[in-house]
């Protein structure tokens, strides 16, 4: 370390448990609480939010926390020995290792590094010169906020509760709804969606469904036909990723567009993945930056999707308001830059009884973000 530099502060983590207002049910499981890990560096914060059962890097909490401890140790050792001209790009080889092996940890590391290098308010050793980097403004006023069209999420429940929730969200101004489906009686789910569609034609209400891989492959083709007749926009992850080899035939046999979510979490955005996607028959990608390994990885998937003529939207993954705010501001930047008019899949942060202070809010079926994302 250079003699004239002060020791840099340590990056530390703290586990937090958030509790749902009511159980969040999908075809995969039911959640009553959610564990996250907040990374702290001086006044800056980022979030690591693995989802057991969905995150590719989650084998056990002990294994994951040991990996996080190693990441923090490596980060702090590098910071304390920082060379005078190390740029954010200089961290990329190290970040790439974490993106490959522990993507949910990489999301938090990438975010905290971007904040460190972007924040003009940080008094830091001469080895980082914030004035030469684009600035990250943590908070704007509500009047300056940017907004995103998002889908209103209807969680799985009994069909009458789902119907009431859908009507409530429409009354709030949402023009796109996403229903979690696949675990209840199929005809009951179909009748519920048909009832909503009878009130609101496709010209005024977009309906998406998300099966979380729950459809039986023997019945999936007919189920997609049923949904297409109701002018459903698309179905997310109809089959479990272990049945990805069946996707081309399913897509060819149906007119209902398929969007892939969980299947993407198991792959890296390489040429082999591009070839697989080209042959899959899928029309959309659903991207979760906090589980994919951060924004660099998510943007690589966007590039692949657009190269193949596929659509895409960004989805949150039950992060706290800390992670959600960052994802929302980055998503707004991507949507504006790429002229994407599709409704995005971001949450509202209102699911929890004990969330952190919000940097987003909902108005008229749109998510307004108070954070301003400026790329490097």
Catalytic residues: 180, 288
Tokens representing residue 149 in the block = 């069209």
List CB contacts of 257: < 8 A, sequence separation 6 or more: 233, 234, 235, 282, 283, 284
Q: What gap in Å lies between CA 333 and CA 146, rounded to an integer? A: 9
What is the full DSSP assignment across 96-110? HHHHHH-HHHHHHHH
334's enclosing H/E stretch is helix 321-338
Rounded Cα gap, residues 359 and 3, in angstroms: 40
Cα angle, residue 219 at apex, residues 163 and 225 outer, rounded to 5°: 60
Strand partners, 206: 176
H or E segment and range at residue 256: none
Q: What is d(CA 167, CA 152) in angstroms, rounded to the nearest whole number?
A: 10
Task: Say if residues 285 and 318 touch (Cβ distance below 8 Å).
Answer: no
CB 215 within 8 A of CB 239: yes
Which residue, among 288, 296, 361, 364, has the nearest Cα to 319 in the 3D structure?
288
Distance CA 286, CA 302 (A): 10
Q: Which two tokens stand for residue 138?
A: 């943590």
DSSP E strand boundaries for the chain:
12-25, 30-41, 44-48, 146-149, 152-154, 176-180, 206-210, 234-236, 258-260, 284-287, 311-314, 360-363, 366-369
* Half-sphere CA count of 362, side-chain side, radius 13 A: 16
* 3-state secondary structure at position 355: coil
């Amino acid at each position: 370390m250079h003699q004239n530099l002060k020791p840099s502060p340590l990056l530390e983590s703290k586990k937090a448990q958030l509790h749902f207002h009511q159980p969040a049910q999908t075809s995969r499981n039911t959640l009553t609480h959610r564990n996250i890990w907040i990374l702290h560096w001086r006044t800056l914060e980022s979030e690591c939010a693995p989802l057991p059962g969905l995150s590719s890097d989650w084998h056990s909490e002990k294994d994951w926390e040991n990996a996080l401890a190693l990441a923090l140790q490596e980060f702090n050792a590098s910071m304390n020995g920082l060379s005078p001209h190390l740029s954010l790009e200089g961290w990329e080889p190290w970040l790439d290792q974490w993106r490959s092996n522990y993507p949910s940890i990489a999301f938090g590391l990438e975010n905290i590094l971007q904040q460190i290098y972007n924040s003009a308010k940080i008094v830091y050793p001469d080895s980082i010169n914030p004035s030469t980097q684009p600035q990250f403004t943590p908070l704007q006023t509500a009047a300056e906020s940017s907004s995103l069209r998002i889908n209103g999420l209807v969680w799985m429940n009994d069909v009458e509760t789902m119907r009431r929730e859908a009507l409530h969200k429409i009354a709030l101004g949402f023009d796109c709804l996403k229903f979690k489906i696949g675990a209840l009686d199929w005809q009951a789910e179909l009748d519920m969606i048909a009832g909503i569609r009878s009130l609101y034609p496709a010209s005024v209400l977009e309906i998406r469904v998300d099966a979380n891989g729950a459809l039986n492959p023997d019945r999936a083709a007919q189920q997609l036909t049923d949904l297409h007749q109701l002018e459903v926009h698309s179905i997310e992850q109809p089959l479990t990723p272990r049945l990805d080899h069946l996707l081309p035939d399913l897509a060819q046999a149906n007119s209902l567009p398929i969007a892939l979510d969980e299947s993407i979490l198991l792959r890296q955005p390489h040429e082999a993945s591009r070839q697989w996607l080209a042959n899959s028959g899928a029309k959309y990608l659903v991207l979760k930056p906090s589980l994919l390994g951060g924004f660099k990885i998510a943007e690589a998937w966007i590039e692949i999707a657009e190269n193949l003529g596929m659509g895409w939207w960004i989805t949150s993954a039950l992060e706290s308001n800390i992670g959600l705010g960052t994802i929302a501001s980055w998503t707004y930047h991507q949507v504006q830059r790429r002229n994407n008019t599709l409704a995005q899949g971001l949450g509202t942060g209102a699911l929890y009884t004990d969330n952190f202070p919000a940097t987003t809010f909902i108005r008229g079926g749109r998510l307004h973000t108070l954070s301003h994302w400026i790329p490097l």
